[in-house]
Amino acid sequence: MSAAAIAQVVEALNVETDPQVWALTFKTAGVDFLQFSASAYRCIILIAGPIGKLTVLGIKTISPHLQAKAQSAWDWQKRQPNEVLAMELGFTLLLLLLYALKRFITRKRYMPRLKRWFQQQKRKIQSKYDQAIERVRTVNSTLAVVLPHLFFLLLSSSLLYFVPSLVGWVAEDLQGVAVMSVIYPTLGSVQSDATALASEILSVEVGDDMSAALRYWVVFGVVSAVYGFLSLLPLATRLCPSVDPTTTSSAKMLFFLYLHSPLDGTALLYKHVCPLALRLADSAAGSKGGRAGGDALDAFISKLTSLLALARMVGLCGEGTRSKADAVLRESLSVVPALVCLGMPSYFVEFGILWSSLLVPAANSARANTNVDLEVTGAMQSQSRWIKYWIAFSVSSCVLGLTAPWWSWAPFSTHFTLLFYVALSIPGMGLVDRIFGVILNELVGWGMISGDGLRGYEVGRDTVIVRGLRAISTHSKKKPPPIKTEDDREEKDAVKTKSE
């Protein structure tokens, strides 16, 4: 609208006009509105006609294909035995039941309530234990230190002697070993790391939780590696041939129960394990003189770093790619002994798996937990880095153990397992962050932890079950392939004959 028109409108509004002029104005506006509505209606009618015809034509074209697809699927279902039909029905009902259970748990907030109740009971037990120890300390301080451990040892021995079947049933059938050694500490580590991610100001309390979680994982890594190393030795199996596997599982469950008990067995063992892990960390980190051939490897890494810098200068790679490749090269020095095992039989590859998945991460975790040279934020980032590794390692080990009967028969399956753990133990590869993101998404979806404020991760509310159901529904909506009729086949044969 021009300035003159605007001026005329303003002048018309400021001047008092005759009521007949206002009536004529409203009448003209009403007629214009009716004409516009009629024009829009005609336009919609003209457009809707072809669109409706195209829609009807599309339905007529697709409906035979849909009918044939449904008929073929129904015929295939009818040919299946009753066992397969029962498995399909059971699997579908299981997915629906898990989805309903997930919604029920999330809506009722059972997981946060259960976690609060468990923490309250744990604090009560710890308080009663501290009061009892304080009473004993008033009598004899040495007795207060030794008596709880002796009592736990006596109680464990009594359980293994009098009710071995019950302890074995809890350890094996109820998966007590997996719960006490992996599942329970993994949930605690996820909670501590999620709290650190959600907190803008990294408090001392969060740092203490992360340090306590890392202390357990250091002890777990070293003890599990030593146990796995001894179990692989033929001499150890010959010296202890009569040990019942159920007794071994029971002893392992009681040992991990001791680590999580108010006796604080983790702190006691950590004092003895940490120096060994730190020496191993210095050796695995590639410090000069800390390993055999360290000067040669340092020279090799420096040459590769120079090549990466040259590639950055000529534009073959970006600065982010160069820095990431440099970090991966330096971090991969610690797993060189494990990579050497790739050219050996599967028996020796097992030692490489122990080195790359347990010993090296335990050593790096101990160094991150005792590194006082960094500032608080940097130290906690290093701790969080290795807590994420142990969480990803625990979940990956459980998945690989459950699916082992499906893939363990394949050639070089042990070698591929070693490559997976090597990639997992190098944080620069990014595999840990991907697995940790999936775990966070599942825990948030099931309502175990809160998804608010998790910095660095895009956490949704859909679990694997929900995504699986959505994928099934999306796959069922895909357009089926065209059905070849007899005329199409005859035409294809005629074209083929003519070309020959």
Both structure tokens of 185: 């500490």
Radius of gyration of the chain (CA): 35
Predicted confidence at residue 476, as pLDDT, reads 47
Chain segment 76-103, per-residue pLDDT in tens? 777 878 887 788 788 888 878 877 877 7
| Torsion region of 412: left, alpha or beta (phi above 0 gives left; psi -120 to 50 gives alpha) | left
Average pLDDT over residues 392-396: 90
Average pLDDT over residues 201-214: 65
Please, what is the average pLDDT of the chain? 76
Both structure tokens of 315: 């534009």
Both structure tokens of 259: 């680590």
Chain segment 309-343, per-residue pLDDT in tens? 666 666 666 656 666 666 677 777 788 888 888 88
Q: Is the pLDDT of residue 204 over 50?
A: no
Q: Is the pLDDT of residue 227 over 70?
A: yes
Q: Is the pLDDT of residue 473 over 60?
A: no
Residue 448 and residue 272: Cα distance in Å, rounded? 34
- Size (the chain), residues: 500
Both structure tokens of 197: 């991610």
Chain segment 108-124, per-residue pLDDT in tens? 777 777 778 888 888 88
CA quadruple 428, 429, 433, 435: dihedral positive or negative?
negative
In angstroms, how far is CA 206 from the centroid of its own chain? Answer: 21
Maximal C-alpha separation, the chain? 117
Predicted confidence at residue 465, as pLDDT, reads 57
Chain segment 237-267, per-residue pLDDT in tens? 677 766 788 888 899 999 999 998 888 888 8
Contact by Cβ (8 Å): 358, 386: no
CA neighbor of 379 nearest in space, from 211, 191, 197:
211
CA neighbor of 466 nearest in space, from 50, 99, 209, 174:
99
Query: Where do we find the tokens 């800390």?
Result: 290
Chain segment 216-226, per-residue pLDDT in tens? 999 999 999 99
Query: Where do we find the tokens 């020279």?
Result: 299
Predicted confidence at residue 451, as pLDDT, reads 59
Average pLDDT over residues 394-415: 86
Q: Is the pLDDT of residue 178 over 70?
A: yes
Chain segment 124-174, per-residue pLDDT in tens? 888 888 888 888 888 888 888 888 888 889 999 998 889 889 898 988 887
Q: Is the pLDDT of residue 198 over 60?
A: no
Contact by Cβ (8 Å): 263, 152: yes
Q: What is the model's pTM?
A: 0.67
Residue 232 and residue 139: Cα distance in Å, rounded? 47
Both structure tokens of 430: 């990014």
More confident residue, 191 or 432: 432
Residue 403 and residue 441: Cα distance in Å, rounded? 22
Query: Where do we find the tokens 């070693």?
Result: 418
459 phi and psi, to 5 degrees? -100, 125
Q: Is the pLDDT of residue 292 over 50?
A: no
